[in-house]
């Protein structure tokens, strides 16, 4: 909420610095601003009789109209979305109609939570409940709270602005654009101030995530699976206004998954990731165990498990190197020393 009395006491310069889009608002109004280092209140009290006649509003009405302009612009730009600090899941029922084994599960921004469970157990259903901000109106009867409150219905129905950004396995581009054109187009639609810096950053981060580098002039349709996933992840992390990211498994091939997750949570988002992969699951701070359609347990990743993850990464590297050797036509020889060392440990 914009505090109107605070707004009245800010100088025009301060208001424009905080809310850059108000510059055009002031220009459109017929308010005589001779000194923009004065507060709105001072400007109104110093107006001559003649100037007062030009202004349709008095101070109260003007401030109310300015506050509502700021609120609309914030909503349009998706700035309010970043205020999602917590997401809570209130217990529902499993496929047999039995109550789930918890009351309330709270996730905080900057947290990675993995979702694990057998095929068909209900992982995607949980992600869908969150995306729909379910209120007991899905088969699981779960309820979703945002910042401990029943979320505004706008999350369900607003087209452009979304609570949740989905990163799925298949990210096929259909447009015929270069990487730069694509990023600029997206950045323009988000009306950000420092477009060229942001676009350059997304491109840089995407290239760090991708196994094989790509140029900014490359056509997006010609990118490999790994390269397009890297581009979409960097784009989602940096440019998407959605405070919650749902990931349905990040495929191993062609992408640095650890860096990808770091990038996503670094932007203070809540990251939920359904996975069957132990390395990815252990990258989470917690994991939700799903069985028969219900949340059965929530396990904190222990120190021992974090250590295990380091060992698993060695195994992963061994497999990745073998795959690379295979791809580049090398003979596969003895298993790497790292693995032998691990086996003998
Ligand atoms: N609590 C529930 N009550 C009723 N139906 C449920 C419940 N949870 C999940 N289902 C249904 O069970 C089916 C399988 O669930 P879902 O697709 O979410 O499984 P999954 O764990 O994502 O599977 P996979 O690993 O194969 O992707 C879906 O049709 C889903 O709507």
Could you report the per-residue pLDDT of 254-263, keeping only the tens digit for each?
677 888 888 8
Q: In Å, how far are 223, 261, 280 from 284, measured between CA atoms?
A: 29, 9, 7
Given a contact cutoff of 8 angstroms between Cβ atoms, the answer to whether 245 and 163 are in contact is: no
Task: For the chain, give the percent of residues with pLDDT over 90.
Answer: 28
Given a contact cutoff of 8 angstroms between Cβ atoms, the answer to whether 115 and 177 are in contact is: no
Kindly calculate the radius of gyration of the chain based on its CA atoms and give it in whole angstroms.
25
Whether 117 lines ligand 1, by a CB cut-off of 6 Å, is yes
Whether 95 lines ligand 1, by a CB cut-off of 6 Å, is yes
Phi, psi of 86 (to 5 degrees): -145, 150
Taking the C-alpha atoms of residue 195 and residue 143, their distance in angstroms, rounded to an integer, is 38
Mutate to test the pocket of ligand 1, among 293, 294, 295, 296 (most ligand atoms within 8 A of CB): 293
pTM tops 0.90: no
Give the ligand 1 atom nearest the CA of 95. Answer: 3
Phi, psi of 340 (to 5 degrees): -60, -40
Taking the C-alpha atoms of residue 317 and residue 336, their distance in angstroms, rounded to an integer, is 10
Give the ligand 1 atom nearest the CA of 141. Answer: 1
- Tell me if ipTM is over 0.85: yes
Q: In Å, how far are 89, 135, 207, 248 from 274, measured between CA atoms?
A: 16, 22, 25, 5
Structure token pair of residue 109 = 């921004």
Q: Give 123 Cα–ligand 1 centroid separation in angstroms.
A: 6
Q: DSSP state, 167?
A: E
How confident is residue 144, by pLDDT bands cut at 50, 70 and 90? very high
Per-residue pLDDT, 88: 95
- pLDDT tens digit string along 77-127? 766 555 678 899 999 999 999 999 899 999 988 899 999 999 999 998 999
In 3D, which of 219, 336, 199, 313 has the Cα closest to residue 259? 313
Whether 121 lines ligand 1, by a CB cut-off of 6 Å, is yes
Taking the C-alpha atoms of residue 16 and residue 26, their distance in angstroms, rounded to an integer, is 9
Given a contact cutoff of 8 angstroms between Cβ atoms, the answer to whether 281 and 287 are in contact is: yes
The arithmetic mean of pLDDT across residues 289-309, rounded, is 94
Residue with tokens 């990815």: 280
- pLDDT tens digit string along 190-212? 777 788 888 999 999 999 988 78
Give the ligand 1 atom nearest the CA of 290. Answer: 21
Structure token pair of residue 302 = 């222990």
Tell me which H or E stretch contains 310.
helix 303-327
Structure token pair of residue 76 = 């349009």
Task: For the chain, give the percent of residues with pLDDT over 70.
Answer: 88
Mutate to test the pocket of ligand 1, among 118, 122, 249, 287 (most ligand atoms within 8 A of CB): 122
Given a contact cutoff of 8 angstroms between Cβ atoms, the answer to whether 102 and 288 are in contact is: no
Q: Give 125 Cα–ligand 1 centroid separation in angstroms.
A: 5
Whether 142 lines ligand 1, by a CB cut-off of 6 Å, is no
Given a contact cutoff of 8 angstroms between Cβ atoms, the answer to whether 168 and 248 are in contact is: yes
């Amino acid at each position: 909420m914009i505090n109107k009395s605070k707004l009245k006491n800010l100088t025009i310069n301060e208001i424009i610095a905080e809310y850059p889009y108000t510059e055009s608002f002031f220009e459109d109004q017929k308010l005589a601003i001779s000194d923009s280092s004065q507060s709105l209140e001072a400007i109104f009290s110093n107006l001559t009789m003649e100037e007062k006649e030009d202004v349709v509003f008095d101070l109260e009405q003007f401030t109310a109209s300015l506050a509502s302009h700021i609120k609309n612009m914030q909503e349009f730009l998706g700035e309010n979305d970043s205020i999602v600090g917590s997401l809570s899941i209130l217990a529902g029922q499993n496929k047999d109609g039995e109550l789930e084994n918890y009351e309330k599960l709270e996730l905080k921004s900057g947290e990675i939570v993995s979702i694990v469970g057998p095929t068909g157990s209900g992982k995607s259903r949980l992600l869908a409940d969150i995306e729909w901000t379910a209120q007991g109106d899905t088969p699981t009867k779960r309820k979703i709270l945002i910042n401990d409150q029943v979320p505004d219905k706008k999350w369900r129905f607003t087209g452009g602005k979304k609570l949740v950004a989905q990163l799925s396995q298949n990210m096929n581009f259909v447009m015929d654009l270069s990487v730069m054109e694509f990023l600029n187009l997206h950045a323009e639609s988000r009306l950000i101030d420092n477009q060229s810096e942001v676009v350059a950053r997304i491109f840089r981060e995407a290239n760090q995530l991708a196994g094989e580098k790509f140029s900014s002039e490359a056509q997006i349709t010609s990118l490999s699976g790994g390269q397009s996933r890297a581009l979409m992840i960097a784009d989602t992390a940096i440019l998407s206004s959605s405070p919650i990211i749902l990931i349905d498994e990040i495929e191993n091939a062609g992408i640095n998954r650890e860096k990808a997750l770091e990038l996503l949570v670094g932007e203070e988002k809540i990251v939920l990731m359904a996975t069957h992969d132990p390395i990815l699951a252990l990258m989470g701070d917690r994991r939700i165990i799903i069985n028969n359609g219900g949340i059965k347990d929530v396990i904190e990743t222990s120190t021992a498990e974090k250590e295990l993850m380091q060992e698993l990464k060695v195994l992963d590297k061994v497999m990745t190197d073998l795959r690379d050797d295979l791809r580049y036509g090398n003979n596969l020889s003895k298993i790497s020393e790292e693995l032998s060392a691990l086996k003998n440990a």
